[in-house]
Amino acid sequence: MENKITKITPDNFYKDKPKWKVTFDDGSEWTFFAKEKTKHDDYNIKPVGHLLNWDISNAEYNTARSKDFAINKNAPANYKFTGGKGKADREDIAGSVAFKGAIELCNSGKIQLNEIAEYTTKYKTLLLNI
């Protein structure tokens, strides 16, 4: 949907994340949440009069979402919220999975203890290239 913002009111927090009540030109009022735990002042929000592209996230609770309503001021210019699935997280997960696999190979007698590091590196690279 796309509507013009007519009013924005900070509306406390939900699970330590700021939220705002936003009223649109059609008279509807929806709650938008920040993506991270921080303060209201840490965000640049779209101003009154802005035509906002948004969707309903939960009609029962009148909550909505928009990719560009609230942008964290402290985030780097190229920052993109990934929901905890960024490059660093992906590499950490791949490393953990590869290490667990190497441990299981060692426990089953298929590789030696001194080969765990080599197999972990090899399988982490393999996992990241899938």
Express each pLDDT in 53-95 by its tens digit.
Answer: 889 989 999 999 887 777 666 554 444 444 444 556 678 888 8
- Mean pLDDT value across residues 99-112: 94
Does 50 have pLDDT greater than 90? no
Q: Which has the closest alpha carbon to 106: 88, 120, 91, 92?
A: 120
Sign of CA dihedral 69, 74, 78, 84: negative
- Mean pLDDT value across residues 99-111: 93
User: What contacts 37, CB < 8 A, 6 or more positions away?
Assistant: 15, 16, 17
Q: What SS3 state is found at 91?
A: helix
Q: What's the mean pLDDT when you consider all of the chain?
A: 82
Contact 29, 80 (CB under 8 A): no
Q: How many residues does the chain have?
A: 130
List the domain boundaries for the chain. 2-72, 87-128
Q: How much is the pTM? A: 0.54
Q: Which amino acid is present at 63?
A: T
Does 27 have pLDDT greater than 90? yes
Q: What is the pLDDT of residue 95?
A: 87
Element (H, E) at 120: helix 116-128
Q: What is the pLDDT of residue 3?
A: 92
- Mean pLDDT value across residues 33-60: 82
